[in-house]
């Protein structure tokens, strides 16, 4: 610890789940440019040059364990874990099938559990680890047709705080980021341009989030600049929710 | 103004602890740093360190409770540098007492210094920030804005007021592109943590903190300065109205 080194990320082994998605890819790219050894876990191949791609379904325990074992053993450890893998499909509550509920919980929450557990097996013995889990402002505010998603994202906050307490003494820091709506293909797939435009009116800073906002927040939480932060939720939301 | 102009940053309570560490850190990233405190010795120490590293620093003995002193010093800064980009409103004191025994003076000292002092500084700099439609403010609140603590009702009330002020300022000034955030430090190894405690009392308090904190150690002022630096900077352009807590896991919510 101490003052951040000029390039503290150099040589760090980083795993980014959902690393082929917009936010995950931006973080993977930032880490790669900072000299980290980046491994992307996703179902969709990563187009990021210089990153190792591992096809894995985060719901699948053997898939996840196999991927992390391969990374940790070949790289000699795992230093950073960033979890972004998630799905969001709005469904009115009375139309929500058990299958929809379970799929959302399994990918968004159980997937984080499996990835954290697999990464901690390497972080704990080396007494170093930085974990950033992406939650959502919907964990706090809830949202129409979003009960399953909000539940999964709320679960992430509880998971992160518990892991933070459990791992703090081993120099492993766990924090979360709660974005508001961010300009990525995920919301654009379910919202019209007009709907996205109207969302800006509820955001005091007058715009929706950008992928770079989330990448900056993530780099801060991975770096020594946040050495006394653990179990915290960084709300990157333009002031849309002040708690 | 050209882009290469140094950022001008005001730090209150910059004579010790978190304010000192933040002033030094921001000077290292090339800010022109304007530091005030009531302690002349503390100010001299901060200024000497910054100057020895080739940084730019302006100091002022300012009682943050006194609006005329605050306005006069802000005017002096504007005369010297022509603008103010950032404010770190951090000046604070403590006076521990049970509520049963607390004097009005102990109550008012904390409310006036923390809350009115921050109001005075925010109002003075925001008037200029609004004209330039740019600026970033960080206010030192506390974990105690979230949780209560015995024998610190005055401190908790002041810090909660600061969190509330932060949120209102964030909403009021976001149309001008001005961001306002708060930090909620946990126990940080500073003179303020020692204030009002005997050496033995401090040792006991420190041991109790270390046992209770998930991270098992007190924080260092530099660790808080790094968070202030982040929030003031362009790395946090989409963060406003938030409480960010470098607290070793003391409070998670």
How far, in Å, CA of B206 to CA of B243, rounded? 24
Six-digit token string for B123: 């109002």
Euclidean distance between CA atoms B127 and B47, whole angstroms: 27
Is ipTM beyond 0.85? yes
Angle at B12 between CA B6 and CA B16, to 5 degrees: 105
Ordered domains of chain A (ranges, CATH): 13-180+217-236 (3.40.50.720)
What is the rounded average pLDDT for all residues in chain B? 96
Residue of B28, B180, B90 whose CA lies nearest to A6: B28
Residue A137 confidence (pLDDT):
97
CB contact under 8 A, B249 and A239: no
pLDDT at A6: 62
pLDDT in tens, A39-95: 999 999 988 999 999 999 999 999 999 999 999 999 999 999 999 999 999 999 999
- Which CATH number is B191's domain given? 3.40.50.720
Instruction: Please compute the mean of the pLDDT values over residues B83-92 and round it to a whole number.
Output: 98
DSSP sequence for A183-199: SSHHHHHHS-HHHHHHH
Q: Which of B238, B243, B253 to mutate to test the interface with A (most CBs of A within 10 A)?
A: B238
Distance CA B223, CA A228 (A): 6
Name the band, by pLDDT with cuts 50, 70 and 90, for residue B1. very low
Q: What is the pLDDT of residue A188?
A: 87
pLDDT over 70 at B74, yes or no: yes
Residues of B catalogued as catalytic: 155
Residue B1 is assigned to a structural domain of this protein: no
pLDDT in tens, B141-160: 999 999 999 999 999 999 99
Select the residue from A212, A229, A241 to test the B interface by mutation, using most B Cβ atoms within 10 A: A229
Residue B40: CB atoms within 10 Å: 11
Q: What is the pLDDT of residue B4?
A: 59
Q: How confident is the model at residue B194 (pLDDT cuts 50, 70, 90)?
A: confident
Residues A168-202 have pLDDT tens digits of 999 999 999 999 999 998 888 888 999 998 999 99
Does the pLDDT of residue A215 top 80, yes or no?
yes
Q: Tell me the Cα Rg of chain B.
A: 17
The pLDDT tens digits of the residues spanning A108-165 come to: 999 999 999 999 999 999 999 999 999 999 999 999 999 999 999 999 999 999 999 9
Residue at B235 is within a domain: yes
Q: Which residues pair with A179 in a beta bridge?
A: A236
Kind and range of the H or E run holding A14? strand A13-17
Enumerate the β-bridge partners of residue B219: B188
Torsions phi, psi of A65, nearest 5? -60, -40
At residue A54, φ and ψ (nearest 5 deg) are -125, 115
SS3 of residue A65 by DSSP = helix
pTM of the model: 0.95
Of B226, B229, B240, the CB nearest to A204: B240
pLDDT band at B2 (very low <50, low <70, confident <90, very high): very low
Whether the Cβ atoms of residue B166 and residue B243 lie closer than 8 Å to each other: yes
For chain B, the domain total comes to 1
Task: Enumerate the residues of chain B whose CB falls inside 8 A of the CB of residue A211.
Answer: none
Compute CA B122 distance to the chain's CA centroid, rounded to the nearest angstrom.
12
- List the domain range (segments joined by +) for residue B153: 8-244
């Amino acid at each position: 610890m101490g003052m951040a080194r000029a390039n503290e990320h150099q040589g760090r082994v980083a795993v980014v789940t959902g690393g082929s998605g917009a936010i995950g890819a931006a973080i993977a790219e930032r880490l790669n440019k900072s000299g980290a050894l980046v491994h992307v876990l996703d179902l969709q191949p990563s187009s990021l040059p210089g990153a190792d791609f591992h096809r894995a379904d985060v719901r699948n325990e053997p898939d996840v364990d196999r991927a992390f074992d391969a990374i940790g053993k070949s790289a000699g450890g795992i230093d950073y874990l960033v979890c972004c893998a998630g799905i969001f499909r709005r469904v009115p509550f009375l139309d929500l099938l058990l299958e929809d509920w379970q799929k959302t919980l399994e990918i968004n929450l159980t997937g984080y559990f499996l990835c954290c557990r697999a990464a901690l097996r390497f972080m704990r013995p080396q007494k170093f680890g930085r974990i950033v889990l992406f939650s959502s402002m919907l964990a706090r505010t809830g949202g129409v047709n979003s009960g399953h998603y909000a539940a999964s994202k709320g679960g992430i906050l509880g998971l992160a705080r518990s892991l933070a307490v459990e791992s703090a003494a081993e120099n492993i820091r766990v924090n979360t980021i709660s974005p508001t709506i961010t300009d990525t293909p995920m919301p654009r797939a379910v919202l019209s341009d007009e709907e996205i435009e109207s969302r800006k009116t509820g955001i005091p800073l007058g715009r929706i989030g950008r992928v770079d906002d989330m990448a900056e927040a993530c780099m801060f939480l991975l770096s020594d600049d946040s050495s006394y932060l653990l179990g915290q939720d960084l709300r990157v939301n333009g002031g849309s929710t002040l708690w | 103004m050209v882009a290469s102009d140094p950022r001008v940053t005001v730090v209150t309570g910059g004579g010790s602890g978190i304010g000192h560490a933040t002033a030094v850190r921001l000077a290292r990233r090339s800010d022109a740093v304007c530091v005030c405190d009531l302690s002349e010795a503390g100010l001299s120490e901060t200024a000497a360190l910054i100057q020895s590293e080739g940084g730019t620093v302006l100091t002022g003995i300012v009682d943050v409770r006194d609006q005329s002193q605050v306005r006069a010093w802000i005017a002096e800064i504007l005369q010297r540098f022509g603008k103010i980009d950032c404010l770190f409103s951090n000046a604070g004191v403590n006076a521990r007492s049970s509520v049963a025994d607390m004097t009005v003076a102990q109550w008012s000292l904390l409310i006036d210094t923390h809350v009115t002092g921050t109001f005075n500084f925010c109002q003075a700099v925001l008037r200029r920030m609004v004209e330039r439609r740019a600026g970033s403010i960080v206010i030192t609140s506390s974990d105690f804005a979230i949780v209560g603590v015995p024998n610190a009702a005055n401190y908790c009330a002041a810090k909660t007021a600061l969190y509330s002020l932060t949120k209102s300022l964030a909403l009021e000034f976001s149309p001008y592109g001005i961001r306002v955030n708060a930090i909620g430090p946990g126990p940080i190894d500073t003179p303020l943590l020692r204030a009002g405690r005997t050496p033995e009392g401090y040792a006991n308090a420190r041991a109790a903190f270390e046992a209770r904190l998930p991270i098992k150690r007190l924080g260092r002022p530099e660790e808080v300065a790094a968070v202030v630096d982040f929030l003031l900077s362009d790395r946090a352009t989409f963060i406003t109205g938030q409480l960010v807590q470098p607290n070793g896991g003391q409070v998670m919510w």
